[in-house]
Structure 1
Amino acid sequence: MDNSQTHSFKDRPNRTLIRLAVPVLFSLVAEPLVGLADTAFVARLPGSEPVAALGIGTVAFTSIFWAFTFLGIGTQTEVAQAVGGGDRERAVKVVSLASLLAALIGVILMGAMAFLPPIASLFGGVGAVNDLACEYMFFRLLGAPAVLVSLACFGGLRGVQDMRTPLFVAVAVNVVNVGLDWLLIFGSGSIPSMGVAGAAIASTVSQWLGAVWCLFAVHRRIGLTWRMKGAGFARLMQVGGDLFLRTGGVLVFLALCTRVANRGGPDQGAAYQAIRQFFIFSALFLDAFAITGQSLVGYFLGAGDRFQARRVARSVCLWSFGTGVALCLAMVTLEEGVAWLLVPPEAYAVFGPGWLVVSLMQPVGSLSFATDGIHWGTGDFRYLRNSMLVASVVAGACVLVVDSLRPDYVLVYIWLATALWTFIRAGFGMVRIWPGMGDAPLGK
């Protein structure tokens, strides 16, 4: 049976794409607010040590969990293809396996509590800052299973194109976290002030509540089972390996850029950080189309309807490119305002040229995100891994050349290398679809 015949995308492609992408966008924007809320409250504590400790704990925590993004991405693709093919039983098994695996990995990660002091030291924690960072990470690690289970459940829900539940969960987690932050960080009545530890406990409690909600939603929307034979454990692990290497390429390249920018002096470093924050924020808009495209492409391929899957690819690329153009124009217009808000006055001179480069690269960057989502939907993870590694090696070599030559306006050259990195990724992504380089899943 061709399940794609009843899908709304067939008759209303643009409306369907936007209807699914908007909740994804807001859920992506909501997720980083947990860390922002923690920072805002902890900044009210006396001294600079609490904020420094929070920064170390947050970076360490985020770095650890980047390695397990396959629990969400891989689950979303497998569930979407199973549902598209009418194999509801396999979708139940896949999301059940991913959720169980997420819980087990989370429990194992809790064992990192024994190594917190050296981890904090690795990120620059010394003395009181190290102690507070360890305290923060201890309580955050108690929520590790909840974070990973939510990640797997989000993938399952988005695989069946339920984009609203992840949004509701993300908003609820933020609301609970903000309320608990104020109560636990500063104390009230019989509840003592817990400082940085209170921020971690607030996040952990809210994430556990979110995980319970996610599991309930998955059970109601898809189903859960202990009978997981045939769920594709080996396939999920293969996806995990490919995404681990791909993520490693991203982290190494971005870390290299940050290092070279900071070696250019405090002005270059400050301007780079300001631009990088906006660069990451703009990615949220483009990821919304990528995640939506992943679900739709997976669904139609599962249904055996390659024609509709290619229509999805075209629509996602067009909408992403249009969004990239809009971001470009907005960034050019907002340059002075962003500089005033985020950049020290002495760094204005180096900020402007670098900001212009990043603004102009948004349209091309939009296609790199769009094609990532499309190829996630096809399950073409090895191709994405290889293209990312090629882009990171080539662009990373350019950054090293910049570091050795130390030209004026180092920041411009770093972002030009980043533009090359983006162009290579977008190029590989596009030619895999049109005309269909190699054994392309969407090739004619």
Structure 2
Amino acid sequence: MRRPEDREILRLAGPAFLALVAEPLFLLADAAVVGHLGTPELAGLGIAAVVLQTVVGLCVFLAYGTTAGVARQLGAGDRRGALAQGVDGLWLAVLIGAVATVLGLLLAGPLVAVFGAAPEVTDHATTYLRIAVLGITPLLLMLAATGVLRGLQDTRTPLVVAVWGNVLNVVLNVLLVYGVGPVSGLGLPGSAIGSVVAQVASAAALLIVVVRGARREGASLRPHPAGVRSAARAGVPLVVRTLTLRAALLVTTYAVTLGAARASGQSVDIATHQLAMTLWTFLAFVLDAVAIAAQAITGRLLGAGDVAGTRAVTRRMVQWGVGSGVVTGVLLAAASPVLGRLFTGDPAVREALVPVLLVAALGQPVAGVVFVLDGVLIGAGDGGYLARGGLVTLVVYAPVALAVAGAGLVAVWAAMVFVFMGARLAVLLHRARGDAWLVTGAALR
């Protein structure tokens, strides 16, 4: 490592990347186990998973906002205040989780019905969802507790918990779905129960670490209404930011579907898009690891009032983003001719996937910088600007994506990679070059 900040970035980003990759394994393990029960069960799991991922995805601010706030307090030299703020974030997670769980139990049927699946699939999805919603509060607590630990510059503990949580999830899924010895399996409900138990155990492990730290520093474990309200207010713009990102992905999928409907190979285009998006999402985990390091380091430095240090580390992390993007882009381009064989036996899909992946590969360096600067501004507590910037980017991108829908799958992906990601880059660079986000002190704006 050339510089001390390189070691710090790698120390935080390495475990963060591994933990990010471990997160989707909960559902992948469920899919692998449930898939052997039958296609209707697997389809039901897929629908329920979309609902759960949407709820949890919208609450990712519990991790991001908590990271920024705790890191600022830490940088200001107030570890007790940092943990107290983290505890308020945990209570907010409990509050949101309780409301979401009740709504999920009441609305499981209507939410599943929106997808218009066959009755058998709908029944399986509803059964799974009504059990799985019991894990929403633990999942949100995991987000908030992970944010606390990241703010304290600890990304290793969330990694350890994620690994053991996934191991427990796999073991419980196999045992509860298929049974063991004279004990009969529960089928699909067993998968939901196993996941909930694993989520509860993971949340408990993270909470123990945070609670012990709070007690050690003399921080109160009781909720402070003002602190909880402050955490909620800080989360609103981050929710808007997340909604704009998800809306852009939905627009992309709609444009692909619209274009495919006008062409002869509709199923080929849609299947190719799904595979390409899966690979794009995986590479996003790689690049987002540096963004998580950016959140933690930026918050701590601004909390300490070190504007010059923040600028210097931001420049270095942008270089990391570019470098990471170049590496992932080269690897993706080199592997593009063979990746399709891992996912499908359809030669038409494999052939269509190559040019899409080459376009995605060209956009990796841009994505690397976008993710880093997004993390920097989240760490700075600049959620309001990120929300406004997300809306502007969506307004710019959506018409372009729909306009090129008839030009084919590659054209839509070119619009996403160069117009959407390019617009995000322009918005973030504009902010990063100014001084408005460089607000120092322990308190977030």
Question: The TM-score by the shorter chain falls in which range?
Answer: over 0.9
Structure 1 residue 189: deviation in Å? 3.0
SS in structure 2 of the partner of residue 161 of structure 1: coil
SS in structure 2 of the partner of residue 143 of structure 1: helix
Structure 1 residue 345: deviation in Å? 1.0
Distance (whole Å) between structure 2 residues aligned to residue 229 and residue 30 of structure 1: 33
SS in structure 2 of the partner of residue 162 of structure 1: coil
Q: Report the equivalent of 1:417.
A: 415
Would the alpha carbon gap of residues 91 and 170 (structure 1) be closer, same or farther in structure 2, given more than 3 Å must change? Answer: same
Tell me which of 229, 246, 250 is aligned to 1:251: 246
8 A Cα contact 2:91 2:228, kept in partner: no
8 A Cα contact 1:321 1:363, kept in partner: yes
Residues 31-90 of structure 1: CA deviation (Å, up to 9, x unaligned): 111111111111111x31010001001111101112211111111100000010012232
Q: Report the equivalent of 1:317.
A: 318
Distance (whole Å) between structure 2 residues aligned to residue 299 and residue 322 of structure 1: 24
Q: Report the equivalent of 2:426.
A: 427
Distance (whole Å) between structure 2 residues aligned to residue 104 and residue 191 of structure 1: 37
1:71 is aligned to 2:62: yes
Residues 249-306 of structure 1: CA deviation (Å, up to 9, x unaligned): 1111111211221231111111111110000000001110000111001001000111
Q: Report the equivalent of 1:292.
A: 293
Structure 1 residue 227: deviation in Å? 4.4
Counterparts of 1:370-381 in structure 2 under 5 Å?
Answer: 370-381=372-383
Structure 1 residue 130: deviation in Å? 0.8
Distance (whole Å) between structure 2 residues aligned to residue 125 and residue 116 of structure 1: 14
Would the alpha carbon gap of residues 320 and 314 (structure 1) be closer, same or farther in structure 2, given more than 3 Å must change? Answer: same
Distance (whole Å) between structure 2 residues aligned to residue 209 and residue 229 of structure 1: 26
SS in structure 2 of the partner of residue 334 of structure 1: helix
Residues 121-172 of structure 1: CA deviation (Å, up to 9, x unaligned): 1123331111111111111111111111111000000000011100011001
Structure 1 residue 442: deviation in Å? 7.0
The one-letter amino acid of 1:353's match is: P
Q: Report the equivalent of 2:263.
A: none
Distance (whole Å) between structure 2 residues aligned to residue 110 and residue 56 of structure 1: 17
Q: Report the equivalent of 1:39.
A: 31
8 A Cα contact 2:92 2:228, kept in partner: no
Moved more, 109-118 or 210-219: 109-118
The one-letter amino acid of 1:440's match is: W
Distance (whole Å) between structure 2 residues aligned to residue 370 and residue 442 of structure 1: 18
SS in structure 2 of the partner of residue 418 of structure 1: helix
Tell me which of 8, 11, 14 is aligned to 1:19: 11
Q: Report the equivalent of 1:176.
A: 168
1:260 is aligned to 2:255: yes
1:85 is aligned to 2:72: no
SS in structure 1 of the partner of residue 180 of structure 2: coil
8 A Cα contact 1:173 1:210, kept in partner: yes
Aligned pair count reads: 428
TM-score (norm. length: structure 1): 0.93
Distance (whole Å) between structure 2 residues aligned to residue 431 and residue 101 of structure 1: 33
SS in structure 2 of the partner of residue 75 of structure 1: helix
8 A Cα contact 1:297 1:378, kept in partner: yes
The one-letter amino acid of 2:315's match is: R
SS in structure 1 of the partner of residue 305 of structure 2: coil
Distance (whole Å) between structure 2 residues aligned to residue 317 and residue 53 of structure 1: 42
The one-letter amino acid of 1:249's match is: T
Structure 1 residue 228: deviation in Å? 4.5
Tell me which of 74, 88, 96 is aligned to 1:105: 96
1:130 is aligned to 2:129: no
SS in structure 2 of the partner of residue 34 of structure 1: helix
Counterparts of 1:379-390 in structure 2 under 5 Å?
Answer: 379-390=381-392
Residues 324-371 of structure 1: CA deviation (Å, up to 9, x unaligned): 000111011101111222242122343222211111000011111000
Counterparts of 1:24-423 in structure 2 under 5 Å?
Answer: 24-45=16-37, 47-111=38-102, 112-223=104-215, 225-229=220-224, 232-263=227-258, 264=260, 265-343=266-344, 344-403=346-405, 406-407=406-407, 410-419=408-417, 420-423=419-422
Moved more, 120-129 or 66-75: 120-129
Distance (whole Å) between structure 1 residues aligned to residue 301 and residue 113 of structure 2: 48
The one-letter amino acid of 1:120's match is: V
Distance (whole Å) between structure 2 residues aligned to residue 207 and residue 368 of structure 1: 31
Distance (whole Å) between structure 1 residues aligned to residue 333 and residue 147 of structure 2: 35
Answer 1 or 2: higher relative contact order, Cα 8 Å, separation at least 6: 2
Identity of aligned residues (%): 34
Moved more, 356-365 or 394-403: 394-403
Distance (whole Å) between structure 1 residues aligned to residue 370 and residue 234 of structure 2: 20
Distance (whole Å) between structure 2 residues aligned to residue 150 and residue 381 of structure 1: 21
Distance (whole Å) between structure 2 residues aligned to residue 315 and residue 161 of structure 1: 18
8 A Cα contact 2:15 2:159, kept in partner: yes
Distance (whole Å) between structure 1 residues aligned to residue 426 and residue 226 of structure 2: 34
Distance (whole Å) between structure 1 residues aligned to residue 186 and residue 4 of structure 2: 53
Distance (whole Å) between structure 2 residues aligned to residue 230 and residue 429 of structure 1: 33
The one-letter amino acid of 2:50's match is: V
Q: Report the equivalent of 1:5.
A: none
Q: What RMSD, in angstroms, separates the aligned Cα atoms of the two structures? A: 1.8
Distance (whole Å) between structure 2 residues aligned to residue 26 and residue 226 of structure 1: 30
Distance (whole Å) between structure 2 residues aligned to residue 352 and residue 114 of structure 1: 44
Would the alpha carbon gap of residues 291 and 114 (structure 1) be closer, same or farther in structure 2, given more than 3 Å must change? Answer: same
Structure 1 unaligned spans of 5+: 1-8
Would the alpha carbon gap of residues 333 and 11 (structure 1) be closer, same or farther in structure 2, given more than 3 Å must change? Answer: closer
Residues 366-390 of structure 1: CA deviation (Å, up to 9, x unaligned): 1110000000111011111111111
Distance (whole Å) between structure 2 residues aligned to residue 426 and residue 216 of structure 1: 39
Structure 2 unaligned spans of 5+: 261-265, 441-445
Distance (whole Å) between structure 2 residues aligned to residue 78 and residue 363 of structure 1: 29
Distance (whole Å) between structure 2 residues aligned to residue 114 and residue 382 of structure 1: 33
TM-score (norm. length: structure 2): 0.92
Would the alpha carbon gap of residues 43 and 228 (structure 1) be closer, same or farther in structure 2, given more than 3 Å must change? Answer: closer
Structure 1 residue 429: deviation in Å? 1.4
Moved more, 414-423 or 167-176: 414-423
SS in structure 2 of the partner of residue 252 of structure 1: helix
Would the alpha carbon gap of residues 222 and 297 (structure 1) be closer, same or farther in structure 2, given more than 3 Å must change? Answer: farther
